[in-house]
C-alpha cells in the first residue's frame, strides 16, 4: 500500500489523469478511494480539481468541507494535532448545511468522525501523547 505525503517533503503526487478530463463524479469517487486508503493529502489534492470547477456555485463549501477534512486527517497522521484541530473544526462548519448526506457521502457520519478526531487531538495535546484517531470510510462508488 502506498503511503501519504510526509510533512516537510515537497508533494510529488500525480493522480494519473489530466485535469478536467474526467467527470466530477469520477474525480470525487477516486478522491474517496484515496481517503479510504488513508491517503489524505492525495484525496485533498484530487478533490480540489472539483472545487476549482465549481467556482461561483453555492455548493462549493461542501467541497471545502471534505477537502479540509482530508487535510485535517493528514495533519493527524503527521503528528500536527494543533493544525488538525483547526482544519477539521472548519471542515465540520463547512459540512453542516449538507447533513445528512451529499453526493454519496454520509455527511452526518463524516462530521461526527471529524468532531471525535478533534476531541481526541485536543486530549492528546493536553496529555502530551500520540492521538488515536479512527476515521470512517466514505465508500464512494462501493461495488462499482
Query: What whole-number distance in Å separates Cα of residue 31 and Cα of residue 29?
Result: 5
Q: What is the pLDDT of residues 87-116, one digit of tens each?
A: 999 999 999 999 999 999 999 999 999 999
Q: Domain 24-127: what homologous superfamily?
A: TTHA0068-like (1.10.3450.10)
Other Cβ atoms closer than 10 A to 47: 25
Report phi then psi at 103, rounded to 5.
50, 40
Mean per-residue pLDDT of the chain: 90
Q: Is pLDDT above 90 for 55? A: yes
Could you give the CA distance from residue 67 to residue 27 in angstroms, rounded to a whole number?
Answer: 13
Above 60 in pLDDT, residue 81?
A: yes
**Could you tell me the residue ranges of all domains in the chain?**
24-127
Coil, helix or strand at residue 97: helix
CA distance readout (Å), 13 to 17, 22, 23, 74, 138: 11, 17, 20, 14, 21
Cβ contacts of 15 within 8 Å, gap of 6 or more: 30, 42, 45, 46, 49
Would you say residue 1 has pLDDT above 50? no
Amino acid at each position: 500500500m502506498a503511503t501519504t505525503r510526509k510533512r516537510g517533503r515537497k508533494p510529488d503526487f500525480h493522480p494519473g489523469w489530466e485535469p478536467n478530463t474526467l467527470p466530477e463524479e469520477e474525480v470525487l469517487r477516486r478522491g474517496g478511494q484515496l481517503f479510504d486508503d488513508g491517503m489524505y493529502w492525495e484525496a485533498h489534492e484530487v478533490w480540489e480539481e472539483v472545487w476549482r470547477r465549481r467556482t461561483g456555485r453555492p455548493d462549493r463549501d461542501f467541497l471545502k468541507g471534505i477537502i479540509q477534512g482530508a487535510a485535517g486527517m493528514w495533519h493527524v497522521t503527521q503528528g500536527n494535532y494543533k493544525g488538525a484541530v483547526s482544519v477539521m473544526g472548519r471542515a465540520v462548519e463547512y459540512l453542516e448545511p449538507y447533513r445528512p448526506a451529499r453526493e454519496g457521502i454520509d455527511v452526518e457520519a463524516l462530521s461526527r468522525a471529524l468532531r471525535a478526531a478533534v476531541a481526541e487531538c485536543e486530549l492528546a495535546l493536553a496529555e502530551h501523547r500520540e492521538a488515536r484517531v479512527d476515521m470512517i470510510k466514505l465508500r464512494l462508488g462501493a461495488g462499482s
